[in-house]
Structure formats: C-alpha cells, structure tokens
Amino acid sequence: MLIRDPLYFHRTTLAETLLANFKSGIFHALTLFAPRRMGKTQFLLNDVAPLAETQGFSVFYHSFMDSDNDFRAALQLFSENKNNKVKGWFSQIKGISIAGSGVELNKQTEAEPISQIIARLADEKKPTLLLLDEIQELARGVNNSNVVGSLRTGLDLYRDKIKVIFTGSSTNDLRAMFNNGKAPFFHFSHQIDFPPLGRDFSEFLADIYQQRTEAFIDKTALYQTFLRLNQTPMYLRQIIERMIINPALTLEQATEIQLTQSGTGADYHKVWQELTALDQQLLLAVAQGETALYSERNRHELASRLGVAEVKTSSIQGSVRKLENRELLTRDTKNKQSINESAFKTWILDQSVSQN
Ligand SMILES: Nc1ncnc2c1ncn2[C@@H]1O[C@H](COP(=O)(O)OP(=O)(O)OP(=O)(O)O)[C@@H](O)[C@H]1O
Ligand SMILES: [Mg+2]
C-alpha cells in the first residue's frame, strides 16, 4: 500500500487549473520550468496524477532520469494495460510496489514506434495524460533524435486526445529542446514557470509541528527561513522533520544543521575554487538579483569588483555559457537568469556576507 505523506502540502488548485486548460483546449502540451528540488515530481505524482484520474484521464508517468527504464517499452506496456485497473499509472514507475508486488517492465513485447503507440492511445475512449519528467535527459541523449521525433509526431497528430506535461530540472536543456528552431519541439509546448510555494506552505508545516510536539513555533520566523532557503520545500520540511524528532532543537539550530548538510559546504567550496573570478562575480550578481548582466551598469560594477578597467560583453557571454553548461546557472521562461541549486545560492550569499 502506498503510504500517504503527512508532510505533503497539496497544490490542488494549480493542478485543477492546468487540467481545466487541457480540457478546454487552451493548450495540449505544457512544460513546467523550475530549478531543482522545487517539488515538480511530487506535484505530478501527488496532485496532477490522482486528480486527472478522477477527471477521466488515463495517466502515464515516466522519468527520463531513470536510465534503465525504457520509455518506449513503458509507454507500450501502458497502452496495452490501460484497461486493467490494477495496473494504473503508478505501475509504470519501476521500483514502486503496488500491494507489495514489485512491478517490472516486461521487455519481451515487440517494439512498436512511439507515434504508433500514441495513435492507439488516441483511439481509446478516455483521453490520455502523459507526465514526462526530466525531459531534458531525452534532449541530451545523442541517440534520442528518433524518439524525440516520433514523440513529437504522435503528440502533434493527436493533440485533442493526448495531453502532456513535461518537466525538467535543467531549464537550459529544456530551452534548447523546445526553443531551438531546428529541433522537433519548436514552439510546441506552452511554457510556464512552476510557481514557488508561499507562506501557506510554511504555515502548514508550522501547524503540523505544533500538533505533533505541542510546542510553539514562530510562524513568521519559519516563513523567513523558507525565504532564506529560496522557497525550496525540501529543505524546510527537513528542518521541520528534524524539529519534530527532536523538539529540543530551536528553529535557528535546525536551520543551521540543514544549511550545513544540504549545502555540503565543502563541495560548493570546491566548485567555487574551480571558477574564474568573473564566473564567481557573475554568480554573485545573479544571486543578488541582478537581471541585466550585460548592462553598462553591471559591466562597470563587475569591473570594479574585479579590479580591472573593463569587462567585455563577449567575456560575460562566454562565462554565462560555461555556467549554464555546468548547470550552475539556469533561465526561466522570461529568460531571467537564476542559480540552479537553491542551496548553492544561499551558500554564495552567505559567503559574500562573511567576506565583507
Ligand atoms: N508540496 C510539497 N509539500 C511537502 N514537501 C514537498 C512538496 N514538494 C516537494 N516537497 C519536498 O521536496 C522534495 C523534492 O521534491 P521533488 O523531487 O518533487 O522536486 P523536483 O522539483 O522534482 O526536484 P528535481 O529537480 O531534483 O527532480 C520532495 O522529496 C519533498 O520532500
Ligand atoms: Mg524531479
């Protein structure tokens, strides 16, 4: 039996909005952009999938991160077992067991092109919702152009019956995949920034803490901590978990432990040391909220921080490209730069404060 996660904060309204847009035909393909650990996967599994099922969709989930799980074979198996109630969408996730029985993909079935599988799915009475997680892995793989092309063809032809949500942790690769004029997903999907959780999330955790421990927690301080963690749900819930297990811990202490552990300071230090001074200053500028990296003002600011006469636009371009390739920097749908790992952003800001 799947155990319900008591610390999971449901995002039902967001899921309802997305599904309503699918149903009304506003869009048929959607990409959720967000930096790492913001809760994309959990949202698909805990909010979108169950709601879509109750609304009459057959739901398929696949993570391209799981390299030993063949997407085509998984989709084929799904299409064949769709009417079998025991094997719902979650039976496709390798490693998760249903009623105690682990489900492995049957690789024996004869290979069928993806577009053909989608055509068969579109023939069914129920509409299908495909949840394709970590899609950037597909874009990255050098031998995947057939898969991408076939997927695109199928999704394009049957857009009235087959809906799809893509997500990924590297917006850089996603952008390359969706926005590249030559790539088969050009202008294909509607793109939205996955909205970060807000104060209602930190208050939800505060209430659970108070129920469990009968101790008081300052809700404003907890929200401030959430902001300091760049609104990353994983880190705040780990803090609360730690405080529930050990109610003697103060919020400050639990946060301190969390920052040392999630940031693994030593690793960030190493990454930092390997960067050039310009890379470092660019990351710091982005962490501090600079949005116009190439502006005259910012180039002056960079030059003065680096102690040089001038910083050329081309140098910034080269550096940004490198930082994006290394997935240290990412961009949202409006092309705004941000630090990909929120714990790294916190580390950079803390670091700069302690140096001044
Ligand atoms: N709504 C939520 N309520 C409580 N905890 C959450 C919520 N969303 C995410 N989390 C916590 O954050 C962790 C990371 O979430 P998730 O794996 O969904 O993020 P992600 O955006 O898919 O990250 P990645 O880019 O690494 O794949 C979860 O394991 C969970 O502990
Ligand atoms: Mg994920």
pLDDT tens digits for range 28-62? 999 898 888 889 999 999 999 999 999 999 999 99
CA of 198 to the centre of ligand 1 (A): 14
CA of 87 to the centre of ligand 2 (A): 23
CA of 43 to the centre of ligand 1 (A): 8
Please give the residue that has the higher pLDDT: either 251 or 181.
251
20-25 mean pLDDT: 93
Q: Work out the pLDDT band at 267, boundaries 50, 70, 90.
A: confident
Check if 62 has its Cβ closer than 6 Å to any atom of ligand 1: no
Check if 35 has its Cβ closer than 6 Å to any atom of ligand 1: no
Three-class DSSP labels, the chain: CCCCCCCCCCCHHHHHHHHHHHHCCCCCEEEEECCCCCCHHHHHHHHHHHHHHHCCCEEEEEECCCCCCCHHHHHHHHHHHCCCCCCCHHHHCCCCEECCEECCCCCCCCCCCHHHHHHHHHHCCCCEEEEEECCHHHHHCCCCHHHHHHHHHHHHHCCCCEEEEEEECCHHHHHHHHHCCCCCCCCCCEEEECCCCCHHHHHHHHHHHHHHHCCCCCHHHHHHHHHHCCCCHHHHHHHHHHHHHCCCCCHHHHHHHHHHHHHCHHHHHHHHHCCCHHHHHHHHHHHCCCCCCCCHHHHHHHHHHHCCCCCCHHHHHHHHHHHHHCCCEEECCCCCEEECCHHHHHHHHHHHHHHC
CATH topology for 266-355 is Arc Repressor Mutant, subunit A (1.10.10)
> Does the pLDDT value for residue 235 go beyond 60?
yes
CATH code linked to domain 12-193: 3.40.50.300
pLDDT for 152: 87
Indicate which residue's Cα is closest to atom 23 of ligand 1.
37
Q: Residues 98-154: pLDDT tens digits?
A: 333 334 444 455 688 999 999 999 999 999 999 999 887 887 776 777 888 888 889
Of 31, 41, 171, 231, best ligand 1 pocket probe by most atoms within 8 Å of the beta carbon: 41
pLDDT for 36: 81
> Does the pLDDT value for residue 83 go beyond 90?
no
Check if 342 has its Cβ closer than 6 Å to any atom of ligand 1: no
CA of 237 to the centre of ligand 1 (A): 10
